[in-house]
A and B are shown apart, each in its own frame.
Chain A
């Protein structure tokens, strides 16, 4: 078929593909000439916010990325930390917000697919998934449809892959009405010596294409993800990719088998910006060049232009660099699994990407000048107007009967049980799940070793809205605390930074402050950032989401024999409160959900206190003294205690050192633990030795939660509370 004439390349064309005038001029300067249409497409994808991190890179350099356990920090497909016994964990969290808002099922599904590929391209077998979901108000337009689609999308993809979805968090807040967040996390394991890095090396080595054929889906998706939503966003539907988990499952098995052959030099998935970013990234890291013959690329339909092939984001595709002469070994593995393999080019020493189509050169670009020369912006930052007002302390109304107020809080989609969601995810496949969804941190066993791997993801966007720096610190501190509640030592963080438009100085300020908060907390608590992702332009019609720097964290447990439960285990066990309350209600769930107030400073974060608390919890867990441990977070002591009662339907009789208002305060660095009566003295002594305030507040037992709050008495049946809590979400969804 004859091809239409190449579109003209000028500033207007560059702007249409997402470049600014300055960036276009810079591109022409690097090339020493004007780019052609295909080259413009490639460069604009590479320099999109999504691929280049141009508005965030300067700040992300502040993160601590080194540590005793770190084998690979940011810059690869995923970070790598040492677990022990010759094993490493490979993990990352990534956003798929924009596609999920446009088409929730496919958007969320391909988010899971993408993050899994990031793990197995490193040579690791994915063994766990989590996801952090932020929806708008449940009554907002399309919201029930979005919840249903996202949950089904995540489930259908992860379930078919046979990778358990073992944790995560889901929240609802009106700031996400027009722009939901879908952040997917995956963790894999590998032997220390079998980690692969995506570096194209060895000129003459062939470049192979494996997996699904290339089609017209997701073209310029990376650029779409670098724009804000407006009234015409429905028109972006063709930029959303379509997932095929079955192909990914066989791609996973085939790739892991191929890696064992020793014939693979580098492996890279085609994610955002497809063949463009995968080939440029591999060659850039390897400081090499490459030749690609586009007519060899398997296609779903005829008539694809070079521009389309280079920018398609069709899913379940990989490029790999093979050792010259060993292509047949690899070809045999992939064909056995029924996958298509094509040699589409080779590594060169030229430092240039030469793209050919039917013998004709359609693009010829220098690689490192484009990847390293991507723009870097320190955008103007300005404290949001009205911040002082926002941070003014609000009057906290008395809740009346604390048990009634607690019931009302648990009767919301925000604080109700999320089991309706996670029962749609296979969380027991692979038979490693020791602690599944619903607790503070999920735990999987590492077969063949005594080790456990714990993981959690946390952030409170309301705290971040009120004070991004404190909010970001809180997210890191809570993640460390959650891991400590199962006795795990944190190894690393993967962050997923979801923000509005960085060209808005107030958003830029929120971003800068959040990065500083994360850096400070990670330094103080000694947890390096090993991978991550930034998602900007989360706004609709000029309205930004609340800043949401989601923190995923993985840790290791030396053994699983004494793993504490989340909730109370046995009558007569003593309940001990660790940490003290300071009456903090800024951004608290009590004020938000019962009084509609989102004002004041978020709870202060005392990193030294968090460090001591976490160390104490880990020590007690390892020592076998902890029967259960649950951290105090959203909803304060009230919600923490209710959740502790739910696990085994056990009540407790407690005299707490807080009044009914303080029952819902969200002061940090606190946890509720239960221990056998015999263990109490030892636990109190250890807490004192470590400077952690500890107070015995009562005993487990009965079928009611009996409270004495500074003289105010209140009581409720655990079964009654549980029934409200466990049905709140499906009722709100009107199922």
Chain B
């Protein structure tokens, strides 16, 4: 198993994801430079949070055109795992690897706080260590996380089981910190190998930080990779 964390100019959660993968889970992990069209053999490609290219024009818009994204697209189309967190999710939307778009948060302000999430899918490579209905606590930190699509597309998204995480209150009731349609916090593509979410699992993967609800997302990927290797063997 090898992980690659893409570094765009303006990425600022690249080190945080790297830390979780490399130091907490002891997985071989490398940084991938935006200007190099080379994934260095990564099995999992992570598009980290931050403000790629300053988020000028529109969050994720410029990154969606940089040299490495063609490789990321090829990797995704071949069934490789791609995880986009926060700005990385926005980039996946801009690339068209995931459907929909982001609007500014309802309330128009940057929001940094813990939110609660309901696990909707536990049969993905990214979520196998969770269980459906489980309530997670995770920090968000974004100004544009208000997920939007047309009602018809949203219906299709739900029908195709592409909603992975939904915002909720601590008891599992409905909540929507940023105004997202249908409380959507994270979605996958139809094949389930590309996953984007606004909350930051890498910021809640260590006891020291008082919350480890995010760690299972990364260990799910490791576990599924290990299982896949066993099958191959």
Q: Do A and B come from one complex?
A: yes
Among listed B46-54, B95-103, B152-160, interface-contacting one: B46-54
Query: Nearest-CB distance from A598 to chain B (Å)?
Result: 33
Residues of A within 8 A of B205 (CB): 431
Query: Nearest-CB distance from A521 to chain B (Å)?
Result: 33
Whether B54 lies near A245 (C-beta < 8 A) is yes
- The A-contacting residues of B in range 152-206, CB under 8 angstroms, are 200, 202-203, 205-206
Chain B: interface size category: 20 to 34
- CA of A249 to CA of B9, assembled, Å: 8
Given contacts A162-B12, A429-B12, A447-B19, contact A434 B51 (CB under 8 A): no
Whether B209 lies near A433 (C-beta < 8 A) is yes
Among listed B71-79, B106-114, B129-137, B222-230, interface-contacting one: B106-114
Asked if B67 is at the interface (CB within 8 A of a chain A CB), the reply is no
Whether A445 lies near B12 (C-beta < 8 A) is no
Whether A249 lies near B13 (C-beta < 8 A) is no
Give the contacting residue for A431; candidates B10, B16, B111; CB below 8 A. Answer: B16
Query: Nearest-CB distance from B34 to chain A (Å)?
Result: 10
- CA of A338 to CA of B62, assembled, Å: 14
Contact with A along B3-23 (1 / 0, CB 8 A): 000000110110110011000
Asked if A261 is at the interface (CB within 8 A of a chain B CB), the reply is no
Whether B9 lies near A155 (C-beta < 8 A) is no
Asked if B233 is at the interface (CB within 8 A of a chain A CB), the reply is no
Give the contacting residue for A434; candidates B15, B19, B209; CB below 8 A. Answer: B209
Among listed A203-211, A268-276, A420-428, A494-502, interface-contacting one: A420-428
Query: Nearest-CB distance from A152 to chain B (Å)?
Result: 8
Query: Nearest-CB distance from B179 to chain A (Å)?
Result: 15
Asked if A396 is at the interface (CB within 8 A of a chain B CB), the reply is no
Asked if B217 is at the interface (CB within 8 A of a chain A CB), the reply is no
Give the contacting residue for B141; candidates A161, A428, A434, A447; CB below 8 A. Answer: A428
Nearest-CB residue, chain B, relative to A448: B23
- The B-contacting residues of A in range 151-166, CB under 8 angstroms, are 152, 155-156, 159-162
Given contacts A430-B16, A431-B202, contact A445 B208 (CB under 8 A): yes
Whether B110 lies near A430 (C-beta < 8 A) is no
Whether A246 lies near B109 (C-beta < 8 A) is no
Query: Nearest-CB distance from B131 to chain A (Å)?
Result: 25
Whether B51 lies near A246 (C-beta < 8 A) is yes
Query: Nearest-CB distance from A18 to chain B (Å)?
Result: 35
- The B-contacting residues of A in range 198-217, CB under 8 angstroms, are none
Whether A431 lies near B110 (C-beta < 8 A) is no
Given contacts A162-B50, A249-B51, contact A434 B109 (CB under 8 A): no
Looking at A159, A423, A429, the one whose CB has the most chain B CB atoms below 10 A away is A429
Asked if A344 is at the interface (CB within 8 A of a chain B CB), the reply is no
Give the contacting residue for B110; candidates A156, A245, A250; CB below 8 A. Answer: A156
Query: Nearest-CB distance from B208 to chain A (Å)?
Result: 6
Whether B112 lies near A425 (C-beta < 8 A) is yes
Query: Nearest-CB distance from A353 to chain B (Å)?
Result: 34
Known interface pairs A422-B112, A431-B206; 20 further A-B residue pairs with C-beta atoms within 8 A, sorted by A's residue number: A159-B51, A159-B110, A159-B112, A159-B143, A162-B12, A162-B13, A246-B56, A250-B10, A337-B9, A423-B112, A423-B113, A424-B111, A425-B112, A427-B112, A428-B112, A428-B139, A428-B200, A430-B16, A431-B203, A560-B208
A-B CB contact pairs (8 Å), 13 listed: A159-B112, A160-B54, A160-B55, A162-B51, A246-B9, A246-B51, A246-B56, A249-B51, A249-B54, A250-B10, A337-B9, A423-B112, A431-B205
What is A's interface to B at a CB cutoff of 8 Å? 152, 155-156, 159-162, 244-247, 249-250, 253, 336-338, 422-431, 433-434, 445, 447, 560
Those 4 A-B pairs whose CB atoms lie nearest each other, nearest first: A162-B12, A246-B54, A426-B141, A160-B51
